[in-house]
Structure 1
Amino acid sequence: MPTDTSKQHEMERALNSLISTLLDSQKGFADIGEHLKDETLKRYFLAESLKRASFRGDLEEILHQNGVHDIKESGTTTGTLHRVWGDLKAKLGGGDHALLQTAEQGEDEAKKAYKDALDQDLPLPVRQLLAEQQAHILTAHDYVRSHRDVLAAK
């Protein structure tokens, strides 16, 4: 049976991993949103960037409540590569479809991060919050994918 200390460390690792992913996602939505030509998509992406910042804040608050005050504010290497690739596509004239492809790849990473976190043995209130955030992430992924598919069909 795991000790309370090991459960605490497991939760810290899971939340810190999600915080890094959300930071990537927040930056990715903002960066791609700046390059999108479609105004509706641009507004959606900028709003999603703010939503990811809010999700990060919620997770950081849980860590603070549990005595963790040293939270890394850095994303992942994969996230950085996605953003660089998205910027390159925009500069090369890849258009909104190419940018949405990059965004969907980033959302695949976010989906995986939430699945991995929810596979951990976390306290019920934390699981509930993560499940709510995950539902939003899944909806955002589907929104990005459907708009990418519409642009591909044109």
Structure 2
Amino acid sequence: MDNSRTVSTLNDLLNITNDRIKGFSKVEDKVWETSSSLKNDYDQMVRESQTMKSELVELISEKGGEVDDSSTTAGALHRTWIDVKNAFGGENAESTLENVVFGENAAIDAYEEALEDGNLCPQSTAIVSGQLEKLKSSYAKFETLNKSID
């Protein structure tokens, strides 16, 4: 297996995870007044994101790769769009949760693609699969809450 392809795929997932972490910082304190029961789930997602990031960095280093600790252009554009939308439409729990669901869905798609492309070694596949399950779990929680607000 070519380590450079594995490292490249892992760095892509690291960039997505960084997007997730930055996106969560935009959510903080925006929905807790109307959805305080979600705070624990949100805090868990933030902790999981940090753990996922650490795991990816460790894998990249173990493969002899250089860690690309940036985020994606698409993620930056999405966060800018959120800022513009909030500036003109006001911040509300519904739009904030829609943004979380959108971001989680994009992360799931990226992880599934990474698992399907065949560039990961068995160790990386196991870790990325576990991270994908965490993403799917958080997506389900926030999608259910988002639908209940609609």
TM-score normalised according to structure 1 size: 0.85
Q: 2:53 aligns with which of 44, 52, 56?
A: 56
C-alpha distance in 2 between matches for 1:132 and 1:35: 29
Query: Match of 1:150, as an amino acid?
Result: S
C-alpha distance in 1 between matches for 2:41 and 2:62: 32
Trace 1:86-101 onto structure 2 (pairs within 5 A): 86-91=82-87, 92-101=89-98
Which structure exhibits the higher relative contact order, with contacts defined as CA atoms closer than 8 Å and separated by 6 or more residues?
2
TM-score normalised according to structure 2 size: 0.87
Mean Cα deviation higher: 140-149 or 84-93? 84-93
Q: Is 1:145 equivalent to 2:143 in the alignment? A: yes
Check 1:33–1:40 CA distance in 2 against 1; reply closer, same or farther (3 A cut): farther
Mean Cα deviation higher: 41-50 or 11-20? 41-50
Compute the displacement of 1:17 (Å).
0.4
Trace 1:40-79 onto structure 2 (pairs within 5 A): 40-68=37-65, 70-79=66-75
Q: Is 1:31 equivalent to 2:1 in the alignment? A: no
CA contact (8 A) 1:20 1:76 kept: yes
Q: Which runs of 5+ in 1 are unaligned?
A: none
Q: 1:136 aligns with which of 125, 134, 139?
A: 134
> Over aligned residues, Cα RMSD in angstroms?
1.7
Aligned position for 1:125: 123
C-alpha distance in 2 between matches for 1:117 and 1:48: 21
Query: Identity of counterpart residues, as a percentage?
Result: 23
Q: Which runs of 5+ in 2 are unaligned?
A: none
Query: Match of 2:102, as an amino acid?
Result: Q
C-alpha distance in 2 between matches for 1:77 and 1:106: 13
Compute the displacement of 1:79 (Å).
1.1
Q: Is 1:15 equivalent to 2:13 in the alignment? A: no
CA contact (8 A) 1:89 1:99 kept: no
CA contact (8 A) 1:30 1:45 kept: no
C-alpha distance in 2 between matches for 1:125 and 1:105: 29
Mean Cα deviation higher: 53-62 or 84-93? 84-93
Deviation per CA, 1:56-109, whole angstroms, max 9, x where unpaired?
1101101111222x3122111111122223334444324111111111111111
C-alpha distance in 1 between matches for 2:39 and 2:90: 16
Compute the displacement of 1:51 (Å).
1.2
Question: How many pairs are equivalent?
Answer: 146
> Structure 1 segments of 4 or more deviating over 4 A?
none
Compute the displacement of 1:22 (Å).
0.3
C-alpha distance in 1 between matches for 2:58 and 2:112: 21
